[in-house]
A and B are shown apart, each in its own frame.
Chain A
Amino acid sequence: MNSVLVLQSLISGIMMGSAYALLGVGFSLTWGVMKVINISHSAFGLIGAFLAYTLLKWWGIDPILSLAVSVPLLFFVACLVYRFLITPITQAKEVIVASMILTFGVAIILENLMLLIWSPDPRLLTTSYTSKVLVLGPLYFQYPRMAGFLMSAVGVLVIHFFLKKTYTGKAVRACWQQPDAAQLYGVNLSRISMITFGLAVSSAGAGGVSMAFLYSFEPHTHNLWLIYLFLVVIVGGVGNVLGAALAGLIIGVITGLSLAFLPYQWVNLLTFGLLMVILVIRPHGLFRGEV
């Protein structure tokens, strides 16, 4: 085996994995904290990617700067979705299953809105630095991938410190551990849930941009991303932010290495098969932990 090739695919795997991590963190958070499996999470991520694409194409705004628009916008939309769609079902006995079906509906709506607005053509984020490469000895680093990697790393760390250090973040964790006790201590559960949901969806928007740095995308792509989301959460453990980050990296490395040695179509098969095997062996994640 060629060691340079292995090292190179390891690097690209880590870069892919960081994007999966940022995309998956919010998904893990809503699942863990709110017992809501948000199937539309990746569709919101794709909206972030499309917004970045449009801003870049029309006004030449850098995809990273586009987050200044898409993150608040997605936060606002997510709060509306939470208030009007998620709240009515939180009293159901099987919130998780009900939320899956409900957000499946949201995902279908978003997907078709994207089809109407952006058409089904595959898109690429083509920035001024797309083709630039940093060469270090035999290895090379593509600039857009590095940008995506940095963005993801910063995003995951921001969410991690938000949960650990700020009052609101601690309230989110409290609601995850003991919703009733948290309410007794004066935490407004529905407000915290709304913030969690908003935060999760806007982090998906950022994750979508880092995915867009790596792959071409079109309105149906979110179905594929969704599988990665489930992989990240199930490997990393539900509600575990750092676990999700680590899981993202592991999955990225596995995909990166298998991409180097397998034809592309078998890689997805491997990924899905892997998810099934992990689900059967360790349905509650490889790492146990808390928010």
Chain B
Amino acid sequence: MPFRPNKIPGSVIVALMLLVPLAIFPWLGPPVYFVSLLFSVFLYVVLATSWNIIGGYAGYLSFGHVAFFGIGAYATALMMKGLNLSPLWTILSSIPAGGIAALIAAIVGYPCLRLKGPYFAVITFCFAFVVDLGIKNLDILGGPEGLWLKSMDLPINVTRAILFEVMMVIMIFSIASSIWISRSKFGAGLRAIKEDEEVAQTMAINAPMLKIQAFALSAFFPGMAGGIYAYYLTYIHTDIVFDVMISILIVLMALFGGGGTWLGPIVGAVVLTLVNEGLSTFVKAELARIIYGCLFIGVIIFMPNGIIEFFKRGQKGCSGQPGASDNLA
């Protein structure tokens, strides 16, 4: 069930109370570390929320979502280099970059979305590899050396603050569209597909069309975020923007929070990004990843419906036992 606040004005106030301090934050001259940390929290919220459109609502687990992020990053970088764009236009070029990612998603999705369950997961996983290897082997795209982007002619903290705000705007738009979908007929159609695709089709739901639209939309925001991320780092390399680990993290975050709700991926992304940061600060990278692996296992065994559902059930005195795992995927 989607999370429905009782009164919309109330929830708007809560959202503003959260967002306004966040928007002001980078202008108060905080340490760069915290700006970057929040920036990556926003980034993962965008990625997990948009993954949720196809993975959570429609139940098609894409294990290659990093491909769209990387495509967006490369598209922005190439547009900036090729057309010699000014900083403002570079930021705006992330919109067509998202469009390119969405277009590729629609083209790839047309054959791939006919596959179900594990086959879809495998083909998306492979797709991300193919894009990664393809770009790595093409010298015009920077090849194995990567691409450098010219930074803005502004102090570094101002540059970062501007991109921070841009990423926040993208985050707000992605969350808004996720909420809109969860309440719209479109979202109802996607949930019907997740429940039972054949039945949905007999109910006059155009499942193939709906799936492609959802897939394209879920690729659009990661594409935009990729462009902004590239500009933030000022350097991109296929190993960074096509890291398999990002794909996996996105899935884990959405499922950890609870796929199929708009709030779940946000909670999952915020919690896991902070946990990841904390872990990598205090323990060795390998140990941090081992703990991450344990989290994966724990989520699937103990809270197959995500952390939000887990605590809701916990209050009723019912633990997330295996029988409760009907809602997974």
Contacts and interface: CB of A to CB of B under 8 A. Distances in A.
B304 A105 contact: no
A272 B130 contact: yes
Interface residues of A, number: 41
Residues of B in contact with A, size category: 35 or more
Contacts, number: 129
B328 A227 contact: no
Interface string A197-240: 00000000000000000000000000100010010001000000
B293 A108 contact: yes
A227 B127 CA distance: 11
Given A88-B301, A98-B304, A265-B137, A104 B322 contact: no
Interface string B242-255: 00100010011001
For the complex, would chain B's binding face be called helix, strand, loop or mixed by DSSP majority?
Answer: helix
B300 A102 contact: yes
B205 interface: no
A269 B137 contact: yes
A268 B136 CA distance: 12
B297 to A, nearest CB: 4
Nearest to A101: B300
B293 A105 contact: yes
Contacts of A108: 248, 289-290, 292-293, 296
Contacts of B296: 101-102, 104-105, 108
Contacts of A37: 118
B295 A227 contact: no
Nearest to A37: B118
Contacts of A90: 322
Given A88-B322, A94-B117, A97-B117, A105 B112 contact: no
A269 B123 contact: no
**3 smallest A-B Cβ distances: which pairs?**
A105-B296, A108-B293, A109-B293
Interface of B: 61, 111-112, 114-115, 117-119, 121-123, 126-127, 129-130, 133-134, 136-137, 244, 248, 251-252, 255, 284, 286-287, 289-290, 292-297, 299-301, 304, 322-323, 325-326, 328-329
Interface of A: 37, 85, 88-94, 96-98, 100-102, 104-109, 111-113, 115-116, 223, 227, 230, 234, 265-266, 268-269, 272-273, 275-276, 279-280, 283
